Structure 1
Amino acid sequence: MNDSSEEKSGKPERATTPDSNTGKAAKASGKAGARKPAGRKAADQDTATTKHPPRRTAHGRARGRARRGGASLLLGILALNAALAVGGFYLWQQQNRATDEARERITRLKEDQQRLSRALDESRRALDDRLRAFQETQQGLRDDLAALLERSGHLRNDWMIAEAEYLIRLANHRLLLDRDVDTALAALATADERLRDTGDPALIPARKALADDMAALRALPRVDRTGLSLQLSALAQRVASLPLATPSPEHMPDSPANPAGDGEAAAAEADTPWWGSLSGAWEILRGLIVIRQHDDPVQPLIPPEQRFFLTHNLVLQLEQARIALLRGEQAIYRERVQQAHTWVARYFDRKDAAVADSLAQLQSLSEQDIAPPLPEITRGLAAIARYRTRQAGTPPAVTAKPAPKPEPKPKPKPAPPTQGSGTPAPTPNNGAPGGGAT
């Protein structure tokens, strides 16, 4: 192949000498020593050729050169292949190592991923459990809140209804025990407001009953206890200044006749005939004896020194009338006022303007109705009791009953005529209140 290339090129071959061959062989051996031997056999052949170069012909030399060139090329190719093989092996090892590392990393990543996935699943399950527990807790709290609101609403309504019941009972007690109509009305109005604030339509019958009770109280005649008490107090203060009764002039003995008039009458009688004198004597006799008819029994007058006892007992009568007025005791009040009227009319001068005015006031006070009949105001309590029965579905434990009316107190008997007693009585001497001897 090399020969054909040389022939085609047309260049003459130079003659080779042993020296040149030896140099070339040495150079080739040096080059071959620098390179890695492809094989032991090729190295031995090169060494033998270098040491004992054969004598060849030009054709043989050409073939030898061609052989040596092919060997060099082969050695180069082998060296290159070896280098490539070594490099490839190294790269293969590096690739395998990298692949192994990548696989290990992938394995670790997969394990981490699986671990993270498991942790994520566990976290998700835990979060789901917590969310479910939170939702259950929230629902429970909502249910508790709704129950609490409902219960608080019921408790609020129960409290307001209980307060309304208390106010109705208070109104009933104030009306029956103290006859305080204004306070009873205020208590019933407040109870109606409490029932209204509940907003329960089932309490409308109870409110209707309260309205009826309040209408009955408003229809009562109002008694001005304060005004009547002030009138009695003013009369008690005026008693000390009232004038006592004095003997009437018709009960006084006749005054002695005028002496001058008697002389003239005697002179006239001397001039009159005897029958005229007889008629005059009869007239004088009729004037000495006077007979008067009285329908009322004659009452003895009180001595001035006993005025203190009369005044004191009269003031006590008026004070007792004031106490009976404030307590609503009609019988005691009227008895005390009438007794005071009797004493003023009997022992004080009725012709005096102050005495006449006092008698008129006492008469007006005795006619006052300080305790009109009171209505029953327990219909509201009965309606609330029926409401509670419907709400509970069971009969009420306690039935609402009106408060018992106070029993009338026994009338006190008149006290004996002692100093400071409440009722004056006639004395042994003259029958006047005060009890002092003249």
Structure 2
Amino acid sequence: MSETNTPAADVSSPPTPISTPRTGGATLTQAVVAVVGLIALLALGLAWQSQQRLKQAEQELVRRQDSSQSDANIARDQSRQAQELARDTAAKVALLDAKLAEVALQREQLELLMQSMTRSRDENVVGDVEASLRVAMQQAAITGSAEPLVAALKQADERLARYKQPRLEGVRRAVVRDLDRIRSVSVVDVSTLTIKLDEVARQVDDLPLLAMGQPGTEPARSATATRPAKPVGSASAPLSPNAGWWERAWHDAGDKWDQLSSDVWREARGLLRVTRIDHPEAALMAPEQMFFLRENLKLRLLNARLALLSRQFDTAQNDLSEAQGMLDRYFDARSRKLAVTTELLRQVQGQARQVQIPRPDDTLAALSAVAR
């Protein structure tokens, strides 16, 4: 019976309301809110990221702008340097063009000379020898040395000796005569003279000046020699063994007085020194003037050295004469160092002369006679 009553009880009870649709709506709302929040967060993240990128872009733009400005400054400097270099290059190109034109002119002259020569072997030899001699003459005139002429004449002699032709024997004899005459000329050895001038310049700082006033040994000897001799009569007589104490004391006091007076006289005479000075201003120089005097002397020697190297012997002689005058006027002539320096300077003065190198006129005349 219990089993038959149970379904009836179930049928009579009211149905329980279902809450599923209401729960689903709340979940949907939460999902929408979550999605919206997520989208907002994403938007904020994107906005923040965009702002960071914008800042980075601005920083990069500023950096690039600074770099561009620096590059522009560098480019401007390089452009200015390039313009200066272009101007220098243009000047050098103009100079090279002038030299090239000169070389082209010389080349044309040489070509004309070569074209004017005949095809004969003898005339070719004559033309070559003459051309080499003229070039050697130009080199000798520029350098002031006879070595180019000597080398050209020796080469011509060897070539004529190999090329045995009777009509060229006169040319060979003329070459030998000119070679002997040029070898006999003493040419100035500029390198040796410059070495001597350098030695003189090194000794300038050690040379004693008249204004230094260093007394030598001669005045001391003079003072000693002029010291008054002790009179013979004033010499102390030897004491007898029986002399009293007061006699011995008087004798010792006299000897000490004589010695003291002698020393005082010697010192007094040593304070006075008589010296002959031809140029009073040389003895009244200040230390600064002494320094500048030595430097001026070195400059004179340097100018003479440069003049010798450029073979301007007249200018070198003037500078050497000025240097010699300064040595004679302001320096102590009793010094051995000054004597050695003066001797070196006089050697340079004697050898620094313009020497005229002989021309190979005999050889040129013989070549002209053969070429006719």
TM-score normalized with structure 1 length: 0.40
More helix by share: 2
TM-score normalized with structure 2 length: 0.46
Query: Which protein has greater RCO, CA pairs closer than 8 Å, 6+ apart?
Result: 2
Larger Rg: 1
